[in-house]
Structure 1
Amino acid sequence: MPTNERLNKLSAAGVSVWLDDLSRDRLESGNLAQLALTRSVVGVTTNPTIFAGALSKGTAYDAQIAQIAARGGDTADAIRELTTDDVRRACDVLREQYESSGHVDGRVSIEVDPTLAADTDGTVAQALDLWKTVDRPNLLIKIPATPAGVPAIARVIGEGVSVNVTLIFSVERYREVMDAYLSGLEAAADAGHDLASIHSVASFFVSRVDSEIDKRLDAVGTAEAKSLQGKAGLANARLAYAAFEEVFTDTNERWNALVGKGGTVQRPLWASTGVKNPDYPDTLYVTGLVAADTVNTMPEKTLEAFADHGEVEGDAVSGRGAESQEVFDALSGVGIDLADVFGLLEREGVQKFDVSWSELMDSVSAQLESAR
């Protein structure tokens, strides 16, 4: 089957299409390989919620869980083996995309245990262990952009490991993430690592920003406040892209020095792009965020919606920083505390992954017990 024309246009505009989902069923049925062929999918992101969902459905993992139980493995052993096996296989499925893109795409992400979000040393140790366990050059280790996560990012990159920075909500935190990336590359260069082999994306969450701010605008209740609904998510992402262009530019001496040593751009990745408000177009966070050197990781529902009726209307991001700042100024003007919004979203993001991790632990524990 030919590649979908709409998604092909999106790729041609500089947006790498990644799938925000992974399961053993996708791997064994050939679905992931088919999406790479027909839907321009050149990457995969995972998280604890995705794995909890995958392991709770069907029987695809039963045989491996029985093997782990038979040799006396515990819940932590099982989760580690099941998830790293899936990610390793997905890396192999996308190896062709990895090679053909010059090692830019064909990437698969696996996240460190979310209970380590406040533990810098623990995050670093697990990130390095996951990197060695999966043992694929097209792997990305996901580390949350929490206050403890940011220094961990720099240290892990300094060890020559590629990183997907997740749970970024504010431009302020994103600037810290970019600085951590540059610091990591500098440390990696000092340690003799090949900078060209180190890649990173910075996952900026979009729809959750609108969900929280729209709720607060409803509470304000004025016509001015309601006229701002559905605008914050795109404005926030566009401000992030403006910050990206400030850092990864020829005029930045620090970045230029790293480019000379083989350093690669840390691309913005638009995450949480499934539209949660049914009143908004279901491709809002794809069409509205088309720009070069970006990634859009989509749940399959959004991917298929764009394949069916999505439109690429040119670069929708570059040069819109001032316009986006006006949206933020207007939000502040009607009483929206943006710092509070972003702080809440970060805390909630970690908590949601904690809950999913607990569900994953409980599910696997029960399956191991049943197998025994």
Structure 2
Amino acid sequence: MHTPPSPPGTEALDGSSVRIGALVPLSRPGWTGAGRQLLAGLESAVRDANGAGGVGGRPLELVVRDTAADPRRAEAAVEELAGLGVAALAGEYHSVVARAAAVRADALGLPFLCSSAVLDVLTEERTPWVARLAPAQSRGWRVYADFLLGAGHRRIAVAAQPSAYWAAGTRVLREYLAPRGGTVVELDMSALTPAAVCDALAADGASALLLLVGHPEPAVPLVRAVRRDPRLAGVLVGAPAGQPEFADWEASLGGDGAAVPFLRYLPERLTPLGARVGAALREQLSEAPSFVAFEGYDTVTVLAEVLRSHGTDPARIAAAWPQVAVEGTRGPIRFTRVPGIGVWQWTWAPVQVADRDPARPGRFRVLHTD
């Protein structure tokens, strides 16, 4: 497997460092915009941890591997990183990829703190080895469903590609909306063109269309088709998975990408640490940091504290998840067991529904909070 080298400044020059393996989507078909944000957060936290003395005087070393949104590539990377002697794994954005990494990490007995993937079932069985910062999909998407109901939407269409992640999201929406008078209609994007989706929407009468699809294809042509169809002038376009958060969404769609509500995992106000980190990340990225960048920073912050307090033995790291009490960029972080979820879970990261302001697409509006 060909894997690009870690970015300059993240790999130590000698054998004295404490290594953290980082799984990040940095090439297509992975969402590279999200990968760039995630990596920036991981790197920033490593710099801050090393500036504060590292782990017992030893520097943290981030060993980065590109998953490219490929589960098999992620599994191979976990094997490689385990062979390199990393103390723990961090990162990943794509849920299906994170699940593959989590299963392999569990099998190898390698601690994995998942940064950003939300799929409830990261492992089929309960595991002591894996913890997660992002809220579970079942929680975040219920918050999104509450937003839809509050905005008066009862008949919801979902344009979905085949994927365990999209299927799980559709199931969460249907099960939550049904007893509250809502209906979910599925439109199969493996069989429909954007024009055919518009025809189906016009015939069905759904008041909202949710994009459970990849970016830029087919999300961009689908949004453009809906925006330009006069029959659909009153239809809300939504993207619960968070696509509009990233700069490449605005670059691709401009004004057409505004007023598309999405989920993001930020509080009303960042902690003092979060405000300082946000300013540094903005300078590093030359753009506003997304919630994914803060997830990356918090991941290394948690791991650095665990390594300082419990050492680098994998079993001791895994045993430390329920003892974590760390001030992150978005609030105090602690892990607990949640029914139906097999990994240690931060309960809960803050959840917002936001969109881009049509008057200024570079600015976000918060529409709903949990």
Q: TM-score, normalised by structure 1?
A: 0.28
More strand by percentage? 2
Higher helix share: 1
Q: Which has the higher contact order (CA 8 A, sep 6+)?
A: 1
